Structure 1
């Protein structure tokens, strides 16, 4: 399934009917195949926004469209063919192996009670190889390290073949090598990606656009090199931020200090 555009218009969310909004009216679009980074300090509303995108909870206002389809007008199975998520919270493995967890990604594409098809197994094989999980295929997921488990969750999402992939801090728990592998993977995927990040330098390197949140309010949206100014980063994260360009690569590097 090919990547699809993501259109979010005026979405907001608050706990209960009269609770204080956690996310205020937010709008943005991501072109098919684009990578959007969602940035902000703890409590900014990043995880709330992601929950709306992967259909964990409906927005109280506004709409979310993937490829022109309102995700809340689709069945749960149809939505799962379009959107997959990799979360920070890793659920118990219940004794399942890596292979069995990755196979779960094919569930939205199968009829009820049917077994894996040859196509399913081919997709699973490719994903295992792509994330270097073949040697771990028959290991109980509960015996893996945090980084290995994270790679398994990414593999399960890729096996789902979504049009939009939502990643919540995907490099958490990963060592430097596997962080680089995930970054390289994100750049090479043929799908629209929304990724929550704390690392501004990583966001500058892999994202086509960024959305910056603070206290549930959007602070800026657009290409990283225009949105991530010293002023906006300093104001949003309550630090003194300075952005420099590294030569000869031209990559951006932020340095931070506590304000006087």
Structure 2
């Protein structure tokens, strides 16, 4: 488990909605849920369901048009951006070119919220970076140019940068997208080991079944259900949400639920 200096926090969303302009149709309609500290929430739904919009509300990129996003009972918009960045970190699908920065330098960027003014470093920053490098087994890559890494290695580095913020809540937007099977498994194993409150958007329902403590299902910007995946993800809900014929089966001998899909007749 990642030795985070701060404990995981409870995340609560209360009637949060968002639209590009207040007069237009919402992309995300009022949505409410609560993630207990240290649990993993999966956000699932078809393309255009509002998953990325919800995540942008959670990491304070968009301000809700209605409702609130609370971390341990405090509205994140009652904090300044620096204070929020000390509590919430995000790993997005888009990875910057990094302009020739090394892995260590990328991870050091995660310490920015803890610095004042133009300070380039602070007592303890180096120790945090080294701890993160060690926890994610990145020491051997520390001096490599970020651009030379594989997709899976880059994803680990971006998670490491987020962890260097020492957040209580971690937001992950499609963290296994474009990765091969091995690197997908590595990322899933990493997520399980962190011990933080995590919200992760996923396309793969079978991965959500195995990874997440709770799942939020979105369709056309509307929440369809929230709860443990084994109870929530019924054949009917999945079929209606994704407009397919879905069937959940139990894999033998593990008993792990597995969905199969066909197009409706």
Which TM-score bucket, shorter chain as reference? over 0.9
2:70 aligned with 1:41: no
Query: Which residue does 1:259 correspond to in 2?
Result: 264
**Moved >6 Å (runs of 4+):** none
Partner Cα distance (2:27, 2:178) in 1:
27
The structure 2 residue matched to 1:135, chosen from 137, 140, 165, is 140
Partner Cα distance (1:159, 1:35) in 2:
19
Query: Which residue does 2:33 correspond to in 1?
Result: 28
Partner Cα distance (2:231, 2:121) in 1:
47
How many angstroms does 1:118 deviate by? 5.2
How many angstroms does 1:90 deviate by? 1.3
SS in 1 for 2:98: coil
Kept in 2: contact 1:211–1:219 (CA 8 A): yes
**After the TM superposition, which of the residue ranges 241-250 and 222-231 deviates more from structure 2?**
241-250
Query: Which residue does 2:3 correspond to in 1?
Result: none
TM-score calculated relative to the size of structure 1: 0.96
CA RMSD in angstroms comes to 1.3
How many angstroms does 1:142 deviate by? 2.3
How many angstroms does 1:54 deviate by? 0.2
**After the TM superposition, which of the residue ranges 234-243 and 137-146 deviates more from structure 2?**
137-146
SS in 2 for 1:142: helix
Query: Which residue does 1:78 correspond to in 2?
Result: 83
Q: Which runs of 5+ in 2 are unaligned?
A: 1-5
The structure 2 residue matched to 1:192, chosen from 180, 184, 197, is 197
2:217 aligned with 1:212: yes
Q: Which runs of 5+ in 1 are unaligned?
A: none
How many angstroms does 1:20 deviate by? 1.5
How many angstroms does 1:67 deviate by? 1.0
The structure 1 residue matched to 2:248, chosen from 231, 238, 243, is 243
Query: Which residue does 2:231 correspond to in 1?
Result: 226
TM-score calculated relative to the size of structure 2: 0.94
2:57 aligned with 1:52: yes
How many angstroms does 1:179 deviate by? 1.6
SS in 2 for 1:94: helix
2:124 aligned with 1:113: no
Partner Cα distance (1:135, 1:180) in 2:
20
**After the TM superposition, which of the residue ranges 227-236 and 93-102 deviates more from structure 2?**
93-102
